[in-house]
A and B are shown apart, each in its own frame.
Chain A
């Protein structure tokens, strides 16, 4: 029994049906973690992208190294680092938050590249026009650059969101009770892993297919929203 739901291992089908509510509770955690992680990745990635373009060499160079480091090291180890090292320095966060930050950090390396590509595609004339209007650098980003790149970067960002959703099971290692952690716990108690793990796999598959279909539609709709994609 878990979360008040009893399982019924009589047949694989009844078993799957009886644990579905538990797994769905895990799904909400999975989605929340991905949402929080993605919000961090979107914000931090933009910051990285802007720092990369800084006119101060040291700043842009350091950012490049940090981004490269984040991108080339495993999420799992970054997660362990945050989970075990932060408390040593007096920062104690709930596991869920640590997990979301780890996801966000790792993916900010990816999103910063997407932003960079998008920003590079903004015509030179736009920057010059902003200068001519005497906008500050912050204002230029906020009012001119970001609105223009949003439709261009949405598809790539969407792909990273889907990828992040699929990586949330890693958070189970720091006791975040997302779908796969629950499936494993059920497996441990019933000595029957096949059904719960397959169920989780199927739910991921459905989630991915829905997201891909949504992204596909988005790409069809976007060009009509005013800004040319190329």
Chain B
């Protein structure tokens, strides 16, 4: 069986893919909350800055962004390691799309909840962090789950800036062996498996957030 010999190399690549994806999701989630909250609560200046950020990163192509950070920025004296570039660009992507999720979930918290908070004299930040966000986070989870899968898939693009992720390893092996069908089938299955794991992980988080009778509605994706 030829393809068994690819496994160690592909596995190492998969590890890189998983690390980059998880790092990008973690950093991106922070960006998403910052930008999403700024959009809703930030006042004129902050919300405009957040809006520009989301529009620019949602409106241009991810691969263009990746190359821009990889090829163009160093020419003006700003350079990162390729892995840093990959994580940064993916995180900015997650942050931009995630901020829309955060914004949507925050604005779906009912007016009545805001009025109850006001009647109890909560301040704006207290209302945000004690009342709105805890309710909104549960609503965000399915959409964040999809975004996480999206990020895993898009992480394959970092192979194009010479990061040895799963796709990069697949390319190397195929250039060596010319066994395209075997290598790429294995790679696709690898990504599929990682997607399923990531999906299960996100569902677990959602389940944990929904636990207890506070949010009795059934989880759905």
Question: Of B34-42, B113-121, B123-131, B189-197, which stretch is located at the interface?
Answer: B189-197
With A69-B192, A74-B153, A88-B180 as given contacts, are A209 and B159 in contact (CB-CB < 8 Å)? no
With A73-B195, A205-B55 as given contacts, are A194 and B64 in contact (CB-CB < 8 Å)? no
What is the interface of chain B mostly: helix, strand, loop, or mixed?
helix
A197 and B71 form a contact (CB under 8 A): yes
A187 and B167 form a contact (CB under 8 A): no
Q: Mark A123-156, 1 if CB is under 8 A from B, else 0.
A: 0000000000000000000000000000000000
Name A205's closest neighbour in chain B (CB-CB): B59
A77 and B64 form a contact (CB under 8 A): no
A72 and B192 form a contact (CB under 8 A): yes
B63 and A180 form a contact (CB under 8 A): yes
> Of B67, B75, B167, B181, which is within 8 A of A192 by CB?
B75
| B49 interfacial by beta-carbon distance below 8 Å | no
A18 and B149 alpha carbons, distance in the complex (Å)? 40
Residue among A75, A169, A183 with the highest chain B CB neighbour number at 10 A: A169
Residue among A168, A184, A191, A197 with the highest chain B CB neighbour number at 10 A: A197
Q: Mark B46-63, 1 if CB is under 8 A from A, else 0.
A: 000000000110111111
* Residue tally, chain A, CB below 8 Å to B: 38
A84 and B184 form a contact (CB under 8 A): yes
Q: Mark A158-178, 1 if CB is under 8 A from B, else 0.
A: 000000001111101100000
Shortest Cβ gap from B142 to chain A (Å): 13
> Of B61, B171, B191, which is within 8 A of A74 by CB?
B191
B67 and A193 form a contact (CB under 8 A): yes
> Of B59, B75, B185, which is within 8 A of A204 by CB?
B59
A76 and B167 form a contact (CB under 8 A): yes
Residue among A81, A173, A183 with the highest chain B CB neighbour number at 10 A: A81
What is the interface of chain A mostly: helix, strand, loop, or mixed?
helix
Shortest Cβ gap from A132 to chain B (Å): 33
> Of B61, B152, B153, B174, which is within 8 A of A75 by CB?
B153
B63 and A73 form a contact (CB under 8 A): no
A residues in contact with B61, CB < 8 Å = 166-169, 180, 200-201, 204
Q: Mark A64-90, 1 if CB is under 8 A from B, else 0.
A: 000001011111111011001100100
| A198 interfacial by beta-carbon distance below 8 Å | yes
B157 and A77 form a contact (CB under 8 A): no
Name A78's closest neighbour in chain B (CB-CB): B188
Shortest Cβ gap from A90 to chain B (Å): 13
A192 and B68 alpha carbons, distance in the complex (Å)? 11
| A219 interfacial by beta-carbon distance below 8 Å | no
A76 and B159 form a contact (CB under 8 A): yes
B184 and A80 form a contact (CB under 8 A): yes
A residues in contact with B55, CB < 8 Å = 205, 209
Shortest Cβ gap from B130 to chain A (Å): 34
B75 and A85 form a contact (CB under 8 A): no
| B170 interfacial by beta-carbon distance below 8 Å | yes
Shortest Cβ gap from B99 to chain A (Å): 16
A residues in contact with B68, CB < 8 Å = 193-194, 197-198, 201
Give residues in B with beta carbon < 8 Å to A. Answer: 55-56, 58-65, 67-68, 71-73, 75-76, 149, 152-157, 159-160, 167, 170-171, 174, 180-181, 184-185, 187-188, 191-192, 195-196, 199
Q: Told that A74-B155, A76-B157, A197-B67 touch, could you supply 6 new A-B pairs with CB distance under 8 A?
A: A74-B156, A173-B160, A184-B67, A194-B76, A197-B64, A208-B60
Give residues in A with beta carbon < 8 Å to B. Answer: 69, 71-78, 80-81, 84-85, 88, 166-170, 172-173, 180, 183-184, 187, 191-194, 197-198, 200-202, 204-205, 208-209
25 pairs from A and B in contact (CB 8 Å cutoff): A72-B149, A73-B195, A75-B153, A76-B157, A77-B191, A78-B188, A80-B171, A80-B174, A81-B180, A81-B184, A81-B188, A88-B181, A168-B61, A169-B64, A180-B61, A180-B67, A192-B75, A193-B71, A200-B61, A201-B60, A201-B65, A202-B60, A204-B59, A204-B64, A208-B59
